Chains A and B, each alone.
Chain A
């Protein structure tokens, strides 16, 4: 069902998000599939235990056999019996720049994926629909690469010290000023790893006696940061504003659970684009709620910075909002900027506080200089400050690619999750056997896709995820679409029975998103 929401003027443009419900027959068949696999898993474990079948995974040392076992047998059941069968869809080694087309090292397995050998051959020019290369800055030639090469020869590759000791280079200061300008905030700070940005700064901002309201489908780094902080965590349903408002009301009215004392602070953790669902956060409503209930907002724009908005400034620009309304704007440089690391932007007091008390500033090595230079050049390119319109063109190309690709896939009859404008496109597969089959069939046709299953997604909702890039030309997309169509027919993936019903000004029901009208 398509929700086209014009919620009291908060949204300046239609917000088109859809999560079609799993067809009943498909759900049943998926459970049956998992059941069969589990039965076979038990059978194989039994045969391995009784030495009828050779046990091929690594084992404990002889001298340590009487130590407490390191892994529970059951923990690894899924790993041994289900994951091993389709393991070749992941960890595929590549040997070229991860751009729109990529070269992959061919690997074969003679013992059903327990070990791999490299044949030495390289499969060339695979269309890359798996790398997070939204604006196409993963290049081995061009202005960014030349600038990075110059800085590498001048500064070297490493830094060997932390930010607070001797690791704060002039390059870092330059980067931070530029990022602050790009985002439209007062000041910013950059860190060496996006995951660590979340897990080391959330504990610095909140502690015991504070409340964290986190979305159901938040990334592992946000969950880890929230847990390490020691604050109380409450989870609201994915992108569901009623659920969030209820939690906020309850929190302020009732206070802390046992003592009834008021909370010190409330922090809402959301992401710009959720990478497994392809959905975009309902930012105007979140900001309205935040202002009404006096809480703070932490926005993780890992996937949305550079990918949304007419000039690539992220989800805040996409909705036409004021960046100062978001208290903590966090993002990563890995996806749209072709580098590595993360940043946090916000008011000057916030960033000064983080410079003093962030775990990363005190104990972790600062960013490598050529990586910093790559970010500086790519940000300047997106902003148009390098004198060309390349940046602007890329952002527009990405938006066009997204709309085109999504429209075509929906026309073909696949179930696609997520918002119409999000460059992350999940295509539902559901059944465990199709996960492996889809990955392998697409590779045979020279297209590299990413498939995900349990535990990154709920057990019956495994999917293939396409990440579009400004570097994909229309021809590449057409080739990919043709192959996806073929494989879709071969594997019977065209589940969609959707009928378009626009719902105007409908309050979002808390229990389900979906409604079908027959």
Chain B
């Protein structure tokens, strides 16, 4: 019969297309041993300039011993989501400590850094709401926005005039339909320190725009938490802004705190909502207690040694200056940002060739004892794909000699490969 024939004839595509063997992302670097300051990559010992271990807490003995005692008390896993016997006293303690540290009312913990902002945004912004987001927002934010099904309006990176234009357009739309405008929520999503470009957002201007156009601000502080500000409280401390002006601050604990997971903090009015509607919170197992204990100890160290932030910033300035003037590579990022990008000054035509060229630079450095990596992106999925670059990460553990060595090695590599 006809239907049987159709069923016979139909041929689906293969489940996955084959991946060429020399695809740059297929062959991972294998790290044997802990990914700390001195790292053994593919068998070679190098100085680590690629892991986001900003405050050097990955190998800290106090953090490890706090995690050990937690392991002896609780075992490894929590065997349940927060609602069903997965809430441990360590989780409650960590949430209290984070809220106190950031000087907000409440904090909520997620067990996975990516899921933090990707669950927070859809909890508040639904279909029909409007979100203004920076072009250079990281992938987690993009996924959160996609899950929320709201109207997304991109504004040019750090361009307040462009944002104001979009807000004004929205205002004129509102006047045409005031009933709808009264129920459409508006949000601005920005990052404190952008992962893709290494610069900060102009937060004071954003606060002015917030009150002028009545939009709420969600701030993603994964890179700036534990880096900016006098005590490491992030970009609000850096600019001296009242923390209550920001509606929601989200950060992951995988960078400065050298643990796993993420948190959101803000007023109870806002954070409490996520306890029932944050998907990554309600439907997923809670954070293993040993990681929560490691995070608490890391917070203790951050509070006891507020001068490491200044040390880190000084090192960032030093290497930022040292990397200027490399022929063929330009430095992208603020001078106090610990995660910068080195992009090619002139592209050779196709992204593939750029990536191959940068790979040769990275291999040269790895063979001489400096571990670097290229910044990885999903090329087809990103909304605004950044150009290929080498990621340079500065940590507090790197000595001045090592910073200078890295800079001179990069100069050499650029010379030999690009010229």
Cα–Cα distance between A164 and B24 once the two chains are bound (Å): 10
Cα–Cα distance between A340 and B291 once the two chains are bound (Å): 11
Whether the pair B184, A131 counts as a contact (CB closer than 8 A) is: no
Q: In chain B between 161 and 191, which residues have their CB closer than 8 angstroms to a CB of chain A? A: 181-186
Of A140, A148, A192, the contact of B112 (CB 8 Å cutoff): A192
| In the assembled complex, B115 has its CB within 8 A of some CB on chain A | yes
Cα–Cα distance between A79 and B378 once the two chains are bound (Å): 39
Counting chain B residues whose Cβ lies within 8 A of the other chain, the interface size class is 35 or more
Q: Which A residue sits closest to B83, measured CB to CB?
A: A90
Whether the pair B269, A58 counts as a contact (CB closer than 8 A) is: yes
Cα–Cα distance between A195 and B35 once the two chains are bound (Å): 26
Q: Which residues of A contact B91 (CB under 8 A)?
A: 93
Q: Which residues of A contact B6 (CB under 8 A)?
A: 252-253
- Per-residue CB contact flags for chain A residues 341-361 toward chain B (1 = under 8 Å, else 0) read 000000001101111110111
Q: In chain B between 69 and 100, which residues have their CB closer than 8 angstroms to a CB of chain A? A: 71-80, 82-89, 91-92
Whether the pair B279, A340 counts as a contact (CB closer than 8 A) is: no
Whether the pair B114, A339 counts as a contact (CB closer than 8 A) is: no
Q: In chain A between 80 and 125, which residues have their CB closer than 8 angstroms to a CB of chain B? A: 83, 90-99, 102, 105
Q: Chain A's nearest CB lies how many Å from the CB of B293? A: 9
Of B75, B280, B376, the contact of A97 (CB 8 Å cutoff): B75
Whether the pair A153, B88 counts as a contact (CB closer than 8 A) is: no
Of A72, A195, A265, the contact of B280 (CB 8 Å cutoff): A195
Cα–Cα distance between A215 and B17 once the two chains are bound (Å): 26
Q: Which residues of B contact A294 (CB under 8 A)?
A: 10-12
| In the assembled complex, B355 has its CB within 8 A of some CB on chain A | no
| In the assembled complex, B33 has its CB within 8 A of some CB on chain A | yes
Q: Which residues of A contact B32 (CB under 8 A)?
A: 169-170
Q: Chain B's nearest CB lies how many Å from the CB of A201? A: 11
Of A97, A155, A221, A364, the contact of B114 (CB 8 Å cutoff): A364
Which of B139-147, B307-315, B318-326 participates in binding chain A? B139-147
Q: Chain B's nearest CB lies how many Å from the CB of A353? A: 4
Whether the pair B77, A138 counts as a contact (CB closer than 8 A) is: yes
Q: How many A-B residue pairs have CB under 8 A?
A: 351
| In the assembled complex, A4 has its CB within 8 A of some CB on chain B | no
Whether the pair B51, A164 counts as a contact (CB closer than 8 A) is: no
Q: In chain B between 244 and 300, which residues have their CB closer than 8 angstroms to a CB of chain A? A: 244, 252, 254-255, 257-260, 267-270, 272-273, 275-276, 279-280, 282-285, 287-288, 290-291, 294
Q: Which residues of A contact B184 (CB under 8 A)?
A: 68
Q: Which residues of A contact B279 (CB under 8 A)?
A: 195, 220-221, 224
Of A160, A219, A328, A350, the contact of B35 (CB 8 Å cutoff): A160
Cα–Cα distance between A353 and B25 once the two chains are bound (Å): 10
Given contacts A92-B87, A265-B13, A370-B290, contact A338 B79 (CB under 8 A): yes
Cα–Cα distance between A364 and B12 once the two chains are bound (Å): 31
Q: Which A residue sits closest to B52, measured CB to CB?
A: A160
- Per-residue CB contact flags for chain B residues 143-164 toward chain A (1 = under 8 Å, else 0) read 1001100000000000000000
Q: Which residues of A contact B113 (CB under 8 A)?
A: 364-365
Which of A24-32, A59-67, A392-400, A493-501 participates in binding chain B? A59-67
Query: Known pairs A145-B76, A200-B143. 9 more at Cβ < 8 A?
Result: A92-B87, A132-B79, A152-B71, A162-B376, A164-B25, A165-B391, A167-B51, A353-B18, A357-B378
